Structure 1
């Protein structure tokens, strides 16, 4: 049977988390070959998505200099991609209910790698922005579909850990996208660095295609009814818990991208005066995010989601406060802490969405990721205004405000017992 062919099960069995009668052997459980293959394939998907999206982030100061634009304008190379991705996720999540998960994810990864390669060869700023916007559009086929696939195929007892490994892949991709780009740019040029990342991610897409097993619980919907999708999204927006999770994704991602977007501008100035490579190495803090996301999933499965989510938000806030220091050691410590906090919060929130999504996990995941990437695009770009008008203290205050709002949403979820 083709790996893209859905197994047509009764509707009650399409959601393993809600179907106790389903045979446990039909789920991929921790320790099995299927679980390892799924985890590695989705790790590669997360790696490719985030390395393609965020490989331009350390280049923002270079874009500003090369194209004679401001800091906030240079951030459009990232915010356009994530903004287009946010809306593409809604369409991709709906289409995946008809087309299948695996083929859509692979096509998205491969096309995005090709567009990133085109961006590396584009001679003018507006052409680069067009390529980056199209890249965001095609990448929409990965994130929402990946979350839905995991929620459908992984045994509920191990879903938190598997989601944590997927988020760990995004962390690793984000790190390589930043650190690798910075080092390659210092050695060669930013155009060469973009091209290398594109080729690496095309290979990741091929590895994903070879590893991911066939779906067992996906039920293909033969007809595309737009009204039905809107009705489902409307129901989820009226859910007791899901909108608060969407808000958390929007806010914590906005905080994270704001800090990472403009930290490079600050660290290249006095009193730090760091090189591109040195700044890129600071973003190795993503390694801590890889560990934190996996660990957060395990602890959420054992001890409950709300306490782990609140801990992640608190760690991120402490990290932002440390970045206000004039000591490079404390700034690095702050970046590490806020990275850990962000990935803990995102890992828990994304697995929580999978649990509350019911029989429309793809729709719930697409709404969460719409909010998540809108946070990256809108809030991340807005941070440039604070940097240009009042410097780093204003950027940090903006980030802390976002975390305070995320804390309120997390406390509401805990009180409601979702």
Structure 2
């Protein structure tokens, strides 16, 4: 009799795997064209600015869909949005393999971005509702691990498959992996038991109006804009820099460079502890120092030093992201879900602007000018960090847990 009873340990393990897969499959898609950009420029006879739209179109799609999807999830439920979004994400991913030119690829990439908020904007709320208590930390850690690993794996697979097989096959492989992940998530992600349908949309809109009148929260949101502006801008145009002399890296080698993203698995929890001990402003200063030092290293003509620079830069961005999302919860006070939605929207708009605006900078003076522009953006992000906080502000541990978010 006991042998047929469900095993709670196995059920918990399957839940953790499902949450991790949802994060991994989502970010498998978001930035997968970055190591292919120099190749796509030659293939489609396009400019760097035009091929960068295959990155910014996706982040723009995320930005405009996130508020709508968030409201939808408040009405129909979390899992009922997460699982269909994963399946729908497979469709434009596979269709990207049929692209006949740069503009058709940009279209499919934009539609990928439209699907993404159904996972990233809803999963955080799902975890908070369904795993509240002692398990929420391990579940959130699984989700973070999935997003970081997926972000690396998507770039790595795209570069490797495009170099040794065909660029169209790269999208097919990613699409098939995404489909398998969607099936697993549908099977293993527990049904929502604690979801409460939002009956009053006007209350949600009133919360948003309150947030828009909160200067500290707006400064925090501006930080999010600056964080992804810098991250996407740097990791988009560094591909052109490393594909050119004296480096001459292939798409596969460029995909491997993104191993530096795996540092996020170490940096994110460490930054949370530093934030708790040293305060928000000191954490922001450290993040800026990491970012600026890393950017300076990328100006070297030695590949090893450039890779170290990218590792330092991405570490600084991960620290910034951890700090900014915690500060969002603090400055919001209440209605933190809508505040997080506002943050996510501006965060991804920042990524879109970074991938596009820095294209003009690249065409003007190349990588050195891009580094200067990103450095200015990092310093402005630090200014926003100071505007969003007080000198003696400390971070409650409870808020650190509740305000988890992923870049």
The verdict on a shared fold, with TM-score over 0.5 as the criterion, is yes
Farther-moved stretch of structure 1 (274-283 vs 174-183):
274-283
Residue 403, structure 1, aligned to residue 374, structure 2 = no
Other-structure match for 2:21:
44
Q: Does 1:209 align with 2:186?
A: yes
CA separation in 2, counterparts of 1:59 and 1:92? 30
- 2:249 is matched with 274
Give the superposition deviation at 1:307.
3.9
Does structure 2 conserve the Cα–Cα contact (< 8 Å) formed by 1:184 and 1:193?
yes
Q: Does 1:116 align with 2:108?
A: no
Change (3 A) 1:344 1:206: farther
What is the distance in 1 between the residues matched to 2:251 and 2:151? 16
**Partner in structure 1 of residue 405 of structure 2:** none
Q: Is the 8 A contact 2:78 2:122 kept in 1?
A: yes
Alignment equivalent of 1:348, drawn from 313, 317, 323:
323
1:188 to 2:165 alignment: yes
Equivalent position to 1:179, from 148, 151, 156: 156
- Which residue does 2:368 correspond to in 1? 393
Q: Does structure 2 retain, via aligned residues, the 8 Å contact 1:165–1:293?
A: no
Cα distance in 1 for partners of 2:168, 2:233 equals: 24
Gaps of 5+ in 1: 1-31
Aligned position for 1:324:
299
Q: In the TM superposition, what is the alpha-carbon distance from 1:298 to its structure 2 partner?
A: 4.7
Q: How far apart in 1 are the matches of 2:219 and 2:15?
A: 29
Q: Which residue of 1 aligns with 2:30?
A: 53
Cα deviation for residue 302 of structure 1 reads: 6.1
**Which of the residues 277, 280, 287 maps onto 1:312?**
287
Select the residue among 205, 211, 214 that pairs with 1:239: 214
**Matches of 1:195 and 1:153, distance apart in 2:** 34
Give the drift of 1:339: 1.4
Report how far residue 270 of structure 1 moved. 1.1
CA contact 1:116–1:132 (8 Å) conserved in 2: yes
Cα contact 1:93–1:145 (8 A) shared by 2: yes
1:57-107 Cα distance to aligned partner (Å, 9 max, x none): 111112211111100111111111111210100101111110111221111
CA RMSD of aligned residues (A): 2.7
Deviations 1:369-402 (A, max 9, x none): 1011101111221111111110111100111111
Structure 1 pair 237–157 and aligned structure 2 pair: CA distance change class (3 A): farther
Q: Give the TM-score normalised by the residue count of structure 2.
A: 0.86
Deviation at 1:404, TM superposition (A): 0.5
Q: What corresponds to 2:46 in structure 1? A: 69
Indicate yes or no: 2:79 matched with 1:79: no
Could you tell me whether the CA contact under 8 Å between 1:49 and 1:142 is conserved in 2? yes
Verify the 8 A CA contact 1:144 1:362 in the aligned structure 2.
Answer: no
The alpha-carbon deviation at position 122 of structure 1 amounts to 2.6
Deviations 1:236-263 (A, max 9, x none): 2223542222111110111011111011
Q: Mind listing any 5+ residue stretches in structure 2 that lack a counterpart? A: 1-8, 396-407
Partner of 1:296: 271
Mean CA deviation greater in 405-414 or 308-317? 308-317
CA drift of 1:147 comes to 2.6
Does the 8 Å CA contact 2:58/2:114 hold for their aligned counterparts?
yes
Q: 1:364 to 1:218 in 2, by over 3 A?
A: farther
1:376 aligns with 2:371: no
Q: Contact between 2:226 and 2:381, CA under 8 Å: does it hold in 1?
A: yes
Query: Do residues 264 (structure 1) and 243 (structure 2) align?
Result: no
Deviations 1:129-182 (A, max 9, x none): 222212211222122212333344555888677555533322211111111111
1:287–1:136 Cα change, 3 Å: same
- CA separation in 1, counterparts of 2:338 and 2:279? 24
Provide the aligned length of Structure 1 versus Structure 2: 386
Residue 136 (structure 1) aligned to one of 88, 113, 127: 113
CA contact (8 A) 1:169 1:290 kept: no
